[in-house]
Structure 1
């Protein structure tokens, strides 16, 4: 499918077309350019995308969006970042798709992926989503600019680490449905309080289309704050969660033999029973948010239940693997992409529920927590002990407070970097163990996971 012709791109951006082309994809990362793509040459703080134009064309790019002359078919605009945003606005304006925006401190990407799976099952090939974690000021407009005009649904993840950022992103996405997953301490170095984080997340409601639906976590202590923020913009406000009183609620949850949960959900006068493949109470809550969004979008709830049963774990966000350990295998829970106090607690509960000979936690420091960082790290001592952790590998200077708090409670080693964590884990890992690997992305624990997984192909969960 053709996404952009040179003339359409020039009209959308106010630029000038130099040569003709028809692009089937859009990217600003020269490493991702494939045949038929449009390459956008963005100028960043550390590098200038114009340097990679020859490489992009050599890799088969159909054309280029640039602010400098290019030796090849291109559209030239004064500012390529502004042009990318203009592309996104034009792509959003030309589609009749039902658009869903997803934000929150925890669970954005998993919920976005689950929503896409649930909606795409009913509209195969016509449900568009943002890829990876493209949720910032460049990733969101890129994702919207990639949406085919004939899409039936669009699902977009939006993130922020400063006030005002979501307000700008949501006005590009213009969602019909805005979903907030969880409010928790994350990026607290940039906010005076968690209430301020809730206020920043609630900016997503400002972009709602007239009569749109706001979906709010019922069990959050910031529920009423979010509802108040949504009220001026939403035609309808729906709550979801586990607590009695939520509009869409899990009324019964039982452990499933596969490691997930069997769930009975109440949706007003209706009930839906389904198996959720992903383990953990946080995933049960997220699934209620998914059902709320599917219902608001006019999707098929039965198909959504089937999709939730077949949902695979995401790399860095809950994927599980069997890896060699001693004379057998150990179960690896990959949560290496990111971490904050709330997500640490949730995934430690998953580790606690995982059958194992021993439970090992490889925990990297949580970053961007500001002046309360030491207290947040020390506060994980209780959840670590309650999870039945037999051995902990703590990674990074920020974990010193947790190491001190766990003294005499859990056997542990504290290492400065991910490389040392791998050696420490190898020294103790044995057959039948379950290992949770979680930390802020900058700690680099994904490399440890990759090294373990490389030893053997993963199982499916």
Structure 2
């Protein structure tokens, strides 16, 4: 290149970015060994980090985790056959590796090293309902605004293994990092948030998920508020106003000296819902107000719960210094996630039917929200396949029985109930007062997903039907979704 070209203003004025000096590769063997206190066998580089040998692709570091029932060491051959560039192990092997005393602790150390080396703006997300969808929407918004320099935890990697794994995967050049944190006992989020060290901590909502272990709604709110413990100095807590636990969350945040930004329909919300109307694509056209002005945007995902989720997204993006207009565009383009709202057109006699896949998780609040949305979905018939809601403990029977009201309000034609805990709902729906013009709602109750597949096949889904499939993941209704979405 000539000297004349190098002096061209376009080159002279090209903005300098300190990230340009950071490595393009995710990790090299020396950096991994230094981070985890291990010994490298070879000089190698990795482009990803994986703990499941089935998911390893070319260039990954395979972490051979050892648990009570499983030893990743057994799957090293599979990992290298799939293209692993190296492995993190607690026993010597022939291939390229980093040798450590404990691979679980080493993964945590690698996650800490990834967090320490970045100057990205970090966002943590938790909540009883909607945390995965909100995390994905925040990521979509910030990835668009940063032109691909955002990173997030994938799937629902939100526990004591998934969080450090997600951190270890974060490139040094990231401008934003978005991490989900989950729990089913107190103190779990406290341990996760101190690893993530977010600049912005989001709580989507408080609902009776995991109430079996925590005992009360107040205890659930306190457990979620643990996310504020890891906030960096000057950090921001993003909390919902439209919950009875708003004051509890606000006080937990202010006690730590962090800034509080609220979202919701309440007049005092910092990011406030002004209006939401149905849009042509089945979603909503939302107008929100915040201190700097107003914004109108489309939310592709249907349902009032996604209107609320969108406000959480806007509040988080604003707090992280992101582009709220880009967030609006991202929300307009988002589709449902597998197991969390994905919509499938399935081939049935006479044409197409709609299957809504909510098979990954369920609690009383999310059940009501998705049933309400089904009730607003135009269809010839409305069919629900509902699996048991887990971790409700002694509260379980009353929460399951209470689903009769939203089922009847949604004008359901057939309710297929799956799991032991659903027996109480089957009895509730069979009561005379829950009959329309003396005709009971068509219901069936079974114990397994495989039985549910047979019963739904026997009932016969036809063109124009809308089928909602929702339950706790352990019920296994994902198998039913796979059965009916395969080419038939």
Tell me the TM-score normalized by structure 1: 0.97
1:33-55: per-residue Cα shift (whole Å, max 9, x none)?
11111011110111101111122
Instruction: Output the CA distance in 2 between the equivalents of 1:244 and 1:189.
Output: 34
Residue 324 of structure 1 corresponds to 347
For structure 2, the residue ranges without an aligned partner over 5 or more in a row are 1-23, 435-440
Residue 419 of structure 1 corresponds to 450
SS at match of 1:69: coil
Residue 215 of structure 2 corresponds to 192
Instruction: Output the CA distance in 2 between the equivalents of 1:201 and 1:303.
Output: 28
| Residue 340 of structure 1, aligned match among 349, 359, 363 | 363
Residue 164 of structure 2 corresponds to 141
Which structure 2 residues correspond to residues 424-439 of structure 1 after superposition, within 5 A?
424-426=455-457, 427-439=459-471
Structure 1 residue 443 corresponds to structure 2 residue 475: yes
1:217-248: per-residue Cα shift (whole Å, max 9, x none)?
11011111111111133531011112322111
Instruction: Output the CA distance in 2 between the equivalents of 1:428 and 1:231.
Output: 55
Query: Does the CA contact (< 8 Å) of 1:210 and 1:233 recur in 2?
Result: no
Which structure 2 residues correspond to residues 201-212 of structure 1 after superposition, within 5 A?
201-212=224-235
SS at match of 1:424: helix
Residue 87 of structure 2 corresponds to 64
Residue 89 of structure 1 corresponds to 112
For structure 1, the residue ranges without an aligned partner over 5 or more in a row are 457-461
State the shift of 1:24 in Å: 0.6
Query: Does the CA contact (< 8 Å) of 1:323 and 1:330 recur in 2?
Result: yes
SS at match of 2:57: coil
Query: Does the CA contact (< 8 Å) of 1:105 and 1:185 recur in 2?
Result: yes
| Residue 124 of structure 1, aligned match among 147, 150, 157 | 147
Instruction: Output the CA distance in 1 between the equivalents of 2:258 and 2:470.
Output: 39
- Number of residue pairs aligned between Structure 1 and Structure 2: 456
State the shift of 1:58 in Å: 2.4
State the shift of 1:77 in Å: 1.1
Structure 1 residue 289 corresponds to structure 2 residue 312: yes
Residue 240 of structure 1 corresponds to 263
Shifted more, 234-243 versus 133-142: the winner is 234-243
Instruction: Output the CA distance in 1 between the equivalents of 2:200 and 2:292.
Output: 22
| Residue 17 of structure 1, aligned match among 40, 46, 54 | 40
Query: Does the CA contact (< 8 Å) of 2:418 and 2:449 recur in 1?
Result: yes
Instruction: Output the CA distance in 1 between the equivalents of 2:268 and 2:383.
Output: 37
Instruction: Output the CA distance in 2 between the equivalents of 1:447 and 1:234.
Output: 47
Query: Does the CA contact (< 8 Å) of 2:211 and 2:217 recur in 1?
Result: yes
1:335-380: per-residue Cα shift (whole Å, max 9, x none)?
0111010100010011011001111111011111111111110011
SS at match of 1:56: helix
1:283-307: per-residue Cα shift (whole Å, max 9, x none)?
0001000000110111111111111
Query: Against the structure 1 CA distance between its residues 142 and 215, is the aligned structure 2 distance closer, same or farther, given a 3 Å change threshold?
Result: same
Query: Does the CA contact (< 8 Å) of 2:253 and 2:259 recur in 1?
Result: no
Instruction: Output the CA distance in 2 between the equivalents of 1:102 and 1:451.
Output: 32
Tell me which stretches of 4 or more aligned residues in structure 1 moved more than 3 Å. Answer: none
SS at match of 1:184: coil
Residue 413 of structure 2 corresponds to 390
Instruction: Output the CA distance in 2 between the equivalents of 1:55 and 1:397.
Output: 38
Residue 21 of structure 2 corresponds to none
| Residue 287 of structure 2, aligned match among 264, 273, 286 | 264
Instruction: Output the CA distance in 1 between the equivalents of 2:257 and 2:124.
Output: 13
- Aligned CA RMSD, in angstroms, stands at 1.1
1:92-132: per-residue Cα shift (whole Å, max 9, x none)?
01001000000011101100000011111111220000001
Instruction: Output the CA distance in 2 between the equivalents of 1:190 and 1:71.
Output: 45
Query: Does the CA contact (< 8 Å) of 2:129 and 2:205 recur in 1?
Result: yes
State the shift of 1:62 in Å: 1.0
Say which one has the larger Rg: 2
Tell me the TM-score normalized by structure 2: 0.92
State the shift of 1:428 in Å: 3.3
Query: Does the CA contact (< 8 Å) of 1:377 and 1:399 recur in 2?
Result: yes
Residue 276 of structure 2 corresponds to 253
Residue 459 of structure 1 corresponds to none
1:8-35: per-residue Cα shift (whole Å, max 9, x none)?
0111111111121111100111111111
State the shift of 1:78 in Å: 1.0
Residue 390 of structure 2 corresponds to 367
Instruction: Output the CA distance in 2 between the equivalents of 1:237 and 1:194.
Output: 21
